Amino acid sequence: MRKCRILGLCSIGACLLSACSPRDFLTRRLATELIANSSTFKTPRQFWLRTGILSNKDYLSPEYLLMQHHGWISATNVPCPPQFGPLPCWDVILTPSGVDAVRNFVTPEERDKPAFNVLVAKRELLAVTGISKQGNLAEVDFTWRWIPLNDFGSALYSSDLHYLSTAGFRFYDDGWHVMQGVPRPAQSLDEALKNAEPAP
C-alpha cells in the first residue's frame, strides 16, 4: 500500500514537471539566451556617413573628428546654404585612405553617393549580473560591449568599454519574454541599450 502511494506521488510529480517549460523559471542562463537572441540586441550599429556640405556642428562631431584624425576625410571651407548653420560650413570628401577603409563593405555605387550607411559594430553580451522578480514582472541587469566590425567600428567603438543595462521581462502563458515596448518604470530592451551606462 505504501509503495502504491509513493508511485502515485512520483507519477503526479512527473506530470507536474513535464508541464513546466524551461522558460517558466527566469534563470541567468535563460535571461542571457533571451537577451542575446533578441532581434533588438542582434541589430548591428550603423553609422550614417555623409559627404558633401556639412554644418560646423556635424563636422566637429566626435565621429567626424575621429575620421579626420585617421585621415579618412578632408574638407574645405565653403559658404553655407540658407538652411545650414552654425557657420562655417565644410565640403567633406573621402580621402584615398577613407575610400580604402570603406571599400570592403560599401559598393562602388554607394561610395559615389553623398551619404551611405556603414555597419560599424555589433553587441556582445558579457554577463547577466542580477535578476529582480516581482510577480509576473522582472528586471534583469546585464553587461555588454561593442565588437567593431571594421576599421570604422574600431575607431568609433572600443571593445574594452563595457556597458551596464537593465531590461524588463514579463511572464506569459508560454514563459518569460524580454519586453519590447512597455510603459515605465520597466524598460524595453531597446531603451535599456540606449540608456546603458559604463560598467564599473
Handedness of CA 188, 189, 190, 191 (dihedral sign): positive
**Does the global pTM surpass 0.85?**
no
85, 95, 111, 152 from 104: Cα distances, Å? 34, 15, 11, 11
User: What is the rounded distance in angstroms from the CA atom of residue 77 to the CA atom of residue 90?
Assistant: 5
In contact, 5 and 89? CB cutoff 8 Å: no
Q: Where are the alpha helices (DSSP H) in 75-188?
A: 96-102, 108-111, 151-156
Q: Tell me: the pLDDT tens digits for 7-63? A: 555 555 444 444 556 678 999 999 999 999 999 999 999 888 899 999 999 999 989
**Cell for 67?**
575620421
**Cell for 156?**
568609433
Element (H, E) at 11: helix 2-19
Q: Tell me: the pLDDT tens digits for 54-100? A: 999 999 998 999 999 999 999 999 998 887 767 889 999 999 998 88
Q: Tell me: the pLDDT tens digits for 113-163? A: 888 888 899 999 999 999 999 999 999 999 999 999 988 888 888 889 999
Q: Average the pLDDT over 173-184 and give the result.
A: 78
Question: Residue 103 pLDDT more than 50?
Answer: yes
Q: Average the pLDDT over 106-117 and give the result.
A: 77
